[in-house]
């Protein structure tokens, strides 16, 4: 029984991951350039809610599809991989177990093709 959402500490933990992720992006010019003019408060909320949904939590994602959200960005494979590294680091900084980080990555990996080169 327990969902991954409960195991990893619920919404406070997912917001910690999200905030760490945003800080890491702010320090990585290669990724930050994609975020010019983006409403970060909305990105934060949608990202955390998406993590909640993907881990079986009691949330309903109301943001755009991954294909729409990442359209016209032409995200390269290298930049996608770098972003995933930042997300791993964000999870580590938030104290998530490696198994929970891997679970998250596995869930998000299925969306990869929706984001690349759109
Ligand atoms: C693990 C992979 C990723 C996930 C799960 C993810 C998830 C999300 C989510 C949930 C949103 C919010 C959509 C909305 O508010 O409607 C978003 C927006 C965004 N993502 Fe990603 N993303 C990923 C990878 C990337 C990568 C690799 C980049 C760039 C290198 C990127 C750049 C952006 C930008 C710039 C926005 C804001 C778009 C806007 O508001 O116009 N994302 N992403």
What's the pLDDT score for residue 1? 80
Report whether 49 contacts 61 (CB < 8 A).
yes
What's the pLDDT score for residue 117? 86
Domain ranges of the chain: 4-115
- Whose Cα sits closest to atom 10 in ligand 1? 47
| Whole-Å CA distances, 70 to 37, 96, 117 | 14, 27, 9
**For range 30-40, the mean pLDDT:** 97
> Under DSSP, is residue 75 helix (H, G, I), strand (E, B) or coil?
strand
CATH of 4-115, one of 1.10.490.10, 3.30.360.10, 3.50.50.60, 1.10.10.10: 1.10.490.10
Report whether 108 contacts 83 (CB < 8 A).
no
**For range 5-20, the mean pLDDT:** 97
Report whether 20 contacts 90 (CB < 8 A).
yes
Percent above pLDDT 90 for the chain: 95
pTM of the model: 0.96
Ligand 1 pocket check for 88: Cβ under 6 Å = no
- Assess: ipTM above 0.90: yes
Ligand 1 pocket check for 47: Cβ under 6 Å = yes
Ligand 1 pocket check for 61: Cβ under 6 Å = no
């Amino acid at each position: 029984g327990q969902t991954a959402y409960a195991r990893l500490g619920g919404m406070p933990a997912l917001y910690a991951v999200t905030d760490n992720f945003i800080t890491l992006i702010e320090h990585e010019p290669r990724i930050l350039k994609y975020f010019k003019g983006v409403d970060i408060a909305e990105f934060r909320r949608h990202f955390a809610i998406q993590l909640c949904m993907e881990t079986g939590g009691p949330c309903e994602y109301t943001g755009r599809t991954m294909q729409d959200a990442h359209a016209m960005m032409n995200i390269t494979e290298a930049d996608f991989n770098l972003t995933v590294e930042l997300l791993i680091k964000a999870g580590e900084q938030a104290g998530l177990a490696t198994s929970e980080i891997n679970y998250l990555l596995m869930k998000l990996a299925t969306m990869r093709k929706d984001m690349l080169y759109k």
